[in-house]
A and B are shown apart, each in its own frame.
Chain A
Amino acid sequence: MSARMSTGRTIAAHAVLLTYTLIALFPVFVIVINSFKTRKAIFADPLALPWPENFDLVGYQTVLKQGDFFLYFQNSLIVTVVSLFFVLLFGAMAAFALSEYRFKGNTLMGLYLALGIMIPIRLGTVAILEIMVATGLVNTLTALILVYTAQGLPLAVFILSEFMKSVSHDLKNAGRIDGLSEYRIFFSLVLPLVRPAMATVAVFTMIPIWNDLWFPLILAPAEHTKTVTLGAQVFIGQFVTNWNAVLAALSLAIIPVLVLYLIFSRQLIRGITAGAVK
């Protein structure tokens, strides 16, 4: 496509994209540079780059001395990765059933499962808390994983079932005639073909989970189950806020999610080019 686009349009497109990238990255950039500065320098000139005269790692030292931050990171990672795994697994399986099998109430079931896209799960917080209390899951990572799985499923089912409809029926039928089980057809024929869609869903699902403050605060505020976003809140006081530490904690919190994103986006690109070459 780029070969046929005129140079003018290419420049315009790149200008728009670069502008958007700058706007999107600016807050992140400000957080990262200020996390390396002294408290005075942060307030004196927030946009200045860290120089030797105002360079200070006190934020990182505070965060790392706090000790539990490794635990918080671990908690966030466990919750995000496990929820993501369940969202993708159950979402893909539900999408396969909806797109592949004809049964009574198929359309209705699809609509019901997609309804969650429009209704925020936070509306159910009180009921969720009651359930968690009743089942004794308060202050466990399981509580968070269950809630995030429920939160991620609607979009996953919606996007994946559209993609699964486009997988060749002949291919699935060939598998059936060759004696593959429905599970083998799903895992070895259909899933690899919808991998780009899976990666998209993974990215859309992962970021809200990683960033969430609400449910960790309500369902799992205990010391041993705190997530990074919740952990960073200890530095925000009612009267004094340790900005060095907050900024350092946030900067550190970007890294794992960035790594996950890079993994998925490689899948995404691989899927797209595989389709183009075929």
Chain B
Amino acid sequence: MGALELKGVTKNFGATEVIKGVDLSVKDGEFCVFVGPSGCGKSTLLRIIAGLEDATDGDILLDGRRMNDVAPAKRELAMVFQSYALYPHLTVRDNMGLALKQAGKPKAEIMAATDKAAAMLELGPLLDRRPAELSGGQRQRVAIGRAIVRTPKLFLFDEPLSNLDAALRVATRIEIARLHRDLKATMIYVTHDQVEAMTLADRIVVLRAGKVEQVGSPMELYNDPANTFVAGFIGSPQMNFLDAAALGFPPGQVGIRPEHLMISRESGEFAAEVSHIEKLGGETLVYARHPQHGLLTVRLFGEHDYAVSETVHLSLSRDRIFLFDPEGQRRR
């Protein structure tokens, strides 16, 4: 209960094609994250699943049932929005209970459901306040609570953390992960932040310009990216891309993650000039420039000292490199 399937979904706004044929199936109970740069169509795809936009073409199936012509409220899903979207004229309790009230549930049942959700999110003391009297973090918790109350088959989150400050973002992220474990419901989560995607997802769907680039578990995408886009998008700091021909490989690019690039003062495969260094305590990032390969990032653990303009020697862990053809596709 809660399996979603998309079959050849497309969406045009006038003449512009925003979603260009998406096929996807999300298993029951899975935490699926849509990730991609801003404007790639993540929110549009989510709104199509919710029924807030009509797909131009293709089918949306929930538990095998075609949903294209079903109203949003009848799809048994709940959505959490980036801007919280709480009803300004209702108290927290009424905000959370509105969907059940619309569905004609008895008062006692609504009361019990809101109390249960409020307890889960520690919203008890806030139940009689209005949204204007809450902080940003509290508002987002209410919005999540409003989704929980409905016990939906499918949760949809549209960048729910991007309006929160960094500390609150981490706390709420952990809370969402805990909710997923407790509720065991299917969740689809949209973000442009690859850290959120990596930490929350059972499965990540990488989108670019309305097309699915790759689908897989966080570690599958990290260890086995299908192309330079996915390789560059997943992992932080970003993967280095070097000129393959210069290193004696067939033409194209060689990808290597910053932690697999080895640095030495004495010897290495090629020399580069240090252009900047960032010390984070637990790790040190060295940025070195090479005339052919461009700016390369080296990630070292612990504290290290390199001077700007110093010449260093870099070499690649051969078993950690990814080869890409000139089109950016992975050579297999």
Contacts and interface: CB of A to CB of B under 8 A. Distances in A.
Interface of A: 168, 170-171, 173-180, 188-189, 192-193, 277-278
A177 B82 contact: no
A169 to B, nearest CB: 9
Given A173-B52, A179-B103, A168 B83 contact: yes
Interface residues of B, number: 26
B58 to A, nearest CB: 19
| A168, A171, A176, A177 pick with most chain B CB within 10 angstroms | A177
B102 A174 contact: no
B285 interface: no
Given A170-B82, A171-B87, A189-B87, A178 B132 contact: no
Main secondary structure of the interface of A (DSSP, over half): helix
Contacts of B88: 192-193, 278
Contacts of B77: 177
A135 B86 CA distance: 49
Interface in B88-106: 88-89, 98-99, 102-103
Contact of B79 (A168, A174, A193): A174
B81 A174 contact: yes
A170 B132 contact: no
B89 A179 contact: no
B78 interface: yes
Contacts of A180: 73, 98, 102
Contact of B47 (A173, A175, A179, A189): A173
Contact of A177 (B72, B86, B87): B72
Contacts of B99: 177-179
Contacts, number: 58
A278 to B, nearest CB: 5
A170 B82 CA distance: 8
A224 B115 CA distance: 61
16 contacts: A168-B85, A170-B81, A170-B82, A171-B83, A171-B85, A173-B52, A174-B79, A176-B71, A177-B72, A177-B78, A178-B146, A179-B103, A180-B98, A180-B102, A188-B89, A189-B87
A246 B51 CA distance: 63
B132 A175 contact: no
A106 to B, nearest CB: 11
Given A170-B83, A277-B132, A177 B89 contact: no
B102 A177 contact: no
B47 to A, nearest CB: 7
Given A174-B86, A179-B99, 12 more contacts: A170-B83, A171-B87, A173-B85, A174-B87, A174-B146, A175-B87, A176-B71, A177-B52, A177-B73, A178-B73, A192-B89, A277-B132
A188 B78 CA distance: 20
A189 B78 CA distance: 19
B176 to A, nearest CB: 18
A5 to B, nearest CB: 27
B6 interface: no
A189 to B, nearest CB: 7
A278 B131 CA distance: 9
A277 B132 CA distance: 8
B73 A170 contact: no
A176 B72 contact: yes
A69 to B, nearest CB: 42
Contacts of B231: none
A278 B132 contact: yes
Interface in B47-89: 47, 50-52, 71-74, 77-79, 81-89
A173 B81 contact: yes
A62 to B, nearest CB: 50
Contacts of A188: 89
Interface in B187-245: none
A173 B80 CA distance: 10
A195 to B, nearest CB: 11
A170 B83 CA distance: 7
B98 A178 contact: yes
- Identify which of A170, A174, A175 gathers the most chain B CB atoms within 10 Å of its CB: A174
Contacts of B103: 179
Given A192-B89, A278-B132, A177 B83 contact: no
A175 B89 CA distance: 13
Nearest to B158: A170
Given A177-B78, A277-B132, A170 B85 contact: yes
